[in-house]
Every structure is written in C-alpha cells, then in structure tokens.
Amino acid sequence: MHLPARKKAHELQVYEALIYRKRFSSKDKRRYRSLKRGYEGEVYFDHLLEQLPGGYILLKDLCLNYNDRFFQIDQGLLYNNLFYMYEIKNYIGEYYDQDEKLYHISEKEVDDPLIQLKRSSSLLRQLFHQLGFTTPIVPTAVFPNPEFTLFHAPRTDKIILPSQLGQYIRQFNQTIPLSPSLQQLSDKLHSLNKKTSPQQTLPDYHYNELKKGMRCPSCSGILKDIAKNSCTCRACGEKENLQHVILRNIDEFQILFPNQKITTKIIHDWCEMDLNWSIRTVLKKNFEKMGANKGAYFVRK
C-alpha cells in the first residue's frame, strides 16, 4: 500500500532551518535533539506498519481539539474496527519504572507516555462520542529504539518494548476488509486535524541576526562555489542544481518568516550571492507575481 510520507512538524522544520544560521542556547539544542530523535522514531514505526498487507488506515501526527483542549496522536491505526492509538517515545539508554513514574537511570524523572496516553485517549473518546462514533480505542506506548532498556517494566499490553515490536506487528498481518464506518472516521479526523500544534515552542530569532547564504543539503555548510547551473559544496563535495538550491533556501525563508512577502530583493539578501538572474528565473517558474514595480512580490503557484 502506497502511503504519504510523514511530514516533519513545523517546530522541527524551524529548528532545522535555524541550526546553522544562529547560535543555539543549551535549551534550544536539547529541544532540537529531542524533536529530531522523536521524528526518527516515528518514521521507523511508520515503516514497520507500512509493511502490513492491507485492510488498514494509518493516520500520522494528528493534532486534535476537544472543548478547547488540544491533544496529539503520533500514530493512529484503524484496523479490525478498532482505533490503535500510539504514543512513540524514541528514548535511548537505561530507564526504570517506579511508583507509576518513569525515570532515567540518572534518577531524573521523564515524561511517562502512559500518563500522556491516559489524557489523550480520554479526550479522543469524548471527541468520538461527540462525532457519533463508537469505535473502541486501544492506547499503546511504543519504545522503538533498540538501545532503550526499561528496568522493572510494568506488565501491561499498553507498552511495547523494542524486543516485542516484531511479534506485535505480526498480529496485523491478516487483511481484514475496512468497514465504511472506519473510512468515515478517518475522513472526519483528517478534516479536524490542525496542521500546526499550538503547543510548539519556537526559539527566539530575528532576521538580522541570522547567518545568510545557501546551505548544502548534505552537510548544511554554506555553499560558495557557484557555476552557471550548479553549486558545489567545498566541505563535502556535494553538487546540486542551482535552481533547486535557490528554491530550497526560499522554502527555508518561508518556514522562518511565513508572514514576510517574497521579493527578489529579500531572497537575494537571504542567499547572499550575486544571483539576480537565477533568482528571478526560479521565482517566475515556481511563484506567481503579485503587484508591480517596487510593490511587487511573489506567492506560490
């Protein structure tokens, strides 16, 4: 079954666009590493579920609202008239469970996915009732990283440890026809999904403080060697089509400054290269020009 790839959360996209353009505080570095590791764990679990033969629907990265209370679902699986609701924790290292709390081996308490699942599943159940659905919810916390160890793990089917993943996934190998109600539920949840979580925490940044220039897609170094139709990274030797480089850097600019109008001048400054002709070509090809003369700007086609 062909399924769309998981999109990176907007918060992670912002951090990735900033990491080589400004100096991060220790707090920002920790947040970026946490987001990146979390995304990698979600993609890994996506891959496992996408190998199933059929008869299911995957709902990735849902952000829903019930009575002005927002909650997120890392992964939802509609299968056999059930809604499997997953909280994915890509933790690395040694942890232990004590008094229904989760601790790192250093004795630092960390977020317990079972607590998060209890809240989220309660809100989802109420949302289902409001929408007229009675589909049972199966909340499950998944720890996909093979370098994760949990001492004194509670004996519950609400936790899937790395060594249990293979056996757990095999239970879904039977293809069961989807009921119309599951498809209706999927469509409804898609329509209610918020593209950007209100709970995201973005670092402070300002245009003038950011390092300008076009980044290499492989090592994220600043590209310097520009030929007629390509760029070559001095650090790693990666070669990329010049128009692709410009477009990718325009995308980064829009991620960081979504309310800023796209103009030839601002993109020229952002790329920090004498590329007026190439920038105009990229804007003309991929954007629609609005206005005229000094007031002209561009929007995506």
- pLDDT surpasses 60 at 1: no
- pLDDT surpasses 90 at 66: yes
Give strand pairing partners of 78.
57, 83
Strand arrangement of the beta sheet that strand 239-241 belongs to: 225-226, 230-232, 239-241
DSSP state, residue 214: P
Is there a contact between 142 and 88 (Cβ–Cβ < 8 Å)? yes
Residue 242 inside a domain? The answer is yes
Q: Please count the residues of the chain.
A: 301
Residue 199 inside a domain? The answer is no
What's the CA gap between 204 and 180, in Å, rounded? Answer: 46
Least confident window among 22-26, 144-148, 216-220, 269-273: 216-220
My answer on whether 113 and 225 are in the same domain is no
Residue 201 inside a domain? The answer is no
What's the CA gap between 43 and 57, in Å, rounded? Answer: 16
Q: Which residues contact 53 (CB under 8 A, 6 or more apart)?
A: 173, 174, 175
For residue range 91-105, what is the model confidence (pLDDT) as tens digits? 999 999 998 899 999
Q: Which residues contact 209 (CB under 8 A, 6 or more apart)?
A: 22
What's the CA gap between 276 and 256, in Å, rounded? Answer: 22
Residue 60 inside a domain? The answer is yes
My answer on whether 50 and 165 are in the same domain is yes
What's the CA gap between 161 and 149, in Å, rounded? Answer: 8
Domain boundary among 127, 160, 192: 192
Name the pLDDT band for 2 (thresholds 50, 70, 90): very low
Residue 134 CB: number of other CB atoms within 10 A? Answer: 9
Residue 120 inside a domain? The answer is yes
What's the CA gap between 21 and 139, in Å, rounded? Answer: 40
Domain boundary among 160, 192, 224: 192
| CATH at 276 | 1.10.10
**How many structural domains comprise the chain?**
2
- DSSP symbols for 40-65: HHHHHHHHHHTTS-SSEEEEEEEEEE
Residue 117: domain span: 10-192
What's the CA gap between 221 and 21, in Å, rounded? Answer: 10
Name the pLDDT band for 3 (thresholds 50, 70, 90): low
- The reported pTM is 0.89
* Residue whose tokens read 């308490």: 109
